[in-house]
Structure 1
Amino acid sequence: MLQDPHGRIINYVRLSVTDRCNLRCTYCMPEQMKFEQQGNLLTDDEIIRLLKMLAYDGVSKVRITGGEPFMRPNLLSLLEKIKNIDGITDIAITTNGVLTKSFIPALCDLGIQQVNLSLDTLQANRFERITRRNKFAAVMDCFHTMLQHDMQVKINTVVMDQVNTDEITAFAALTELKKVSVRFIEEMPFNGQQKEFSGINWHYQRILDTIREQYELVKIPDLPHATSLNYQIPGFSGTVGVIPAYSRTFCGTCNRLRISATGSIKTCLYGNNMLNVRDLLRQPLFRDMHIRSGIQAAITERFKDGFEAEKNFLEDVKESMSIIGG
């Protein structure tokens, strides 16, 4: 098992399969983004070899992220290979929904039902301002199609001051008739912009208080290692959650490892890259046991929480979330 110095077992990997994205969300990346050359990204064979090693050491859940994962050629073929890895029992995807609709039947055939949909507004004009792209109709079409296929859909909404806070209750209202989880995420500093991030005005308690102005919220049990605090509005079909991504209240139970599309491993979202596993995979003399030892060594240096990791962060400018992998 992969275990950090604080006794936390790592059994969940968030794997970015591409740094490319067809949106340019203002809180995630600059409008002019320089992407990696294809040869710098992990290949399918490297990803499968890496996940087999991680599964051997106890990882059972994989979330596929990007960039936008459906920008990677032949993603379905890769997903099928991942599904066949012994020990991997849970595969989920985070997507912006622009390209996803046509893949939904195939995902269902593979048994991949858990999808997080990034959606920060329910207004077409505002969507274009946030994402710098006119793709709102495609995303909403994808959302409804996923529900029609009984997929387990979670909407991830980043709450941004003076941008979309007036839509918090409208998002909560989606859960009345739709069996969907709407999760409000505190804004984070990973926007790839060369400017200071001075903190947030909309912390998770303020988001909950805003919902309570219109609806009663009943606390429901959170799953083990969950990053969200979850609630239900009485009589509604879906659920509402808040993710204290900036407040970092969930660090004590964190069970995840992040791997970028270029093979950089982060043991904490707010920390440095600890190891580049792509470089190890491409060393002919490095056997699996050497790579597994390198990953374990990175995990043994894991900080207690995101605040401690941020204090030791070596870069002056925060990375783009699209590079980190969502």
Structure 2
Amino acid sequence: MLKDRHGRTINYLRLAVTDRCNLRCFYCMPEEGIDWLGREELMSYEEMLRLCSVFLKMGIEKIRITGGEPFVRKGFMPFLTKLSRLDGLQQLTITTNGVLTAPFVPELKRIGVRSVNLSLDTLDRNRFFAITRRDELPNVLETLEQLLQHDVDVKLNAVVMEGKNTDDILPLVELTKELPISVRFIEEMPFNGGDAAPKLLSWDHVQILDSIKAKYPNLYKLPDPAFSTSFNYQIPGHKGNVGIIAAYTRSFCGTCNRIRLTPLGDLKTCLYGGSVLNFKDLMRAGASEEEIQAALYKAVSMKDLNGWEAEKNNSGLASLSASMATIGG
């Protein structure tokens, strides 16, 4: 099993298959996009499958596929099918913006994807366009409907942004009354692909919770699952529940069980840290399975305690103003 220097078991891999995205959410990247990676710079699907196979032998049990937007990469579904068949994989999940996802939901269900995180910051079409710079809300809502029809567990992820979508918090919460979904509100993070320094966060997890309690004073705390990144709550009589992710204030870091692989093959042991190792380069230099295992053991053993320590130790290797699309959502 993989353990870090703080005694935590690492059993969860977040794998970004592409940096490309068909939306231009302003909190993730500039309107003109970013400098996309060339095909030769990306890990191939074969390289990803090889790494995942090795990682699963070492104790990784859950793999979440992220991007960018996974469904924009050609050949994604055949790759996902092969990934789902790897020995040792206990849970395969996806984070998607839902623009292209709806037609693939039956196939996702068939290969064993039982949970999907769907990014949705607003239910208002005009605000959706203002945030994402694309008029794609109907396609996202169609994906939500298809996921529910096929009994796939859904977590709606909404980034809370002052002056942009705070009026959407209560309408999104209201979805949990009739739908068996988890609506999760995420603190805005600085990874927007720009040069501006991180701004002072006004809508933190405390403010978000207070705004919900003002409408639903009988909201009560649920037990949080092991390694949960969200504080979870229930409104009496509602089929779904509400979660709040302190992504910027980082109050959940102490139980972290995750590592990340970027499309470039960079291993990040923390979202706020720099790359500690490049597995694509290692494989293309002819590394054996034993050498890959040894490199992962060493990298995980040095994992920082939390996001604040990782940011402090970053030393400019990965700017906090990098686009979230390049580091795996």
Q: TM-score, structure 2 length as denominator?
A: 0.97
- How many Å separate the matches in 2 of 1:146 and 1:55? 27
* Equivalent residue runs for 1:83-232 within 5 Å: 83-215=84-216, 216-232=218-234
- The answer to whether the 8 A contact 1:195-1:317 is kept is no
What 5-or-longer segments of structure 1 have no aligned partner? none
Residue deviations 1:87-116 (CA, integer Å, cap 9, x gap): 111000000000000100111111212000
SS in 1 for 2:215: coil
What residue in structure 2 maps to residue 325 of structure 1? Answer: 328
SS in 2 for 1:142: helix
**Aligned residue among 206, 229, 242 for 1:240:** 242
What 5-or-longer segments of structure 2 have no aligned partner? none
What residue in structure 2 maps to residue 290 of structure 1? Answer: 291
- The answer to whether the 8 A contact 1:194-1:317 is kept is no
- How many Å separate the matches in 1 of 2:195 and 2:273? 18
- How many Å separate the matches in 2 of 1:163 and 1:178? 25
SS in 1 for 2:233: strand
Q: Give aligned-pair identity as a percent.
A: 49
Are 1:46 and 2:47 an aligned pair? yes
What residue in structure 2 maps to residue 9 of structure 1? Answer: 9
The residue identity in structure 1 corresponding to 2:147 is M
The residue identity in structure 2 corresponding to 1:319 is A
What residue in structure 1 maps to residue 252 of structure 2? Answer: 250
- Post-superposition offset of 1:181: 0.4
SS in 1 for 2:18: coil
Residue deviations 1:128-178 (CA, integer Å, cap 9, x gap): 110011111111111112111111000000000111111111111000000
| Runs of 4+ off more than 6 Å | none
Q: TM-score, structure 1 length as denominator?
A: 0.98
Are 1:270 and 2:275 an aligned pair? no
- Post-superposition offset of 1:317: 5.2
The residue identity in structure 2 corresponding to 1:322 is A
SS in 1 for 2:25: coil
The residue identity in structure 2 corresponding to 1:68 is E
- How many Å separate the matches in 2 of 1:199 and 1:77? 43
Residue deviations 1:54-75 (CA, integer Å, cap 9, x gap): 0011000000000000011121
- The answer to whether the 8 A contact 2:190-2:320 is kept is no
- The answer to whether the 8 A contact 1:83-1:89 is kept is no
The residue identity in structure 1 corresponding to 2:29 is M
The residue identity in structure 1 corresponding to 2:165 is N
What residue in structure 2 maps to residue 30 of structure 1? Answer: 30
SS in 2 for 1:174: helix
- The answer to whether the 8 A contact 1:115-1:153 is kept is yes
- The answer to whether the 8 A contact 2:191-2:322 is kept is yes
SS in 2 for 1:213: helix
Paired residues, what number? 325
- Post-superposition offset of 1:300: 1.8
Residue deviations 1:229-249 (CA, integer Å, cap 9, x gap): 111100000000000001111
- The answer to whether the 8 A contact 2:187-2:205 is kept is yes
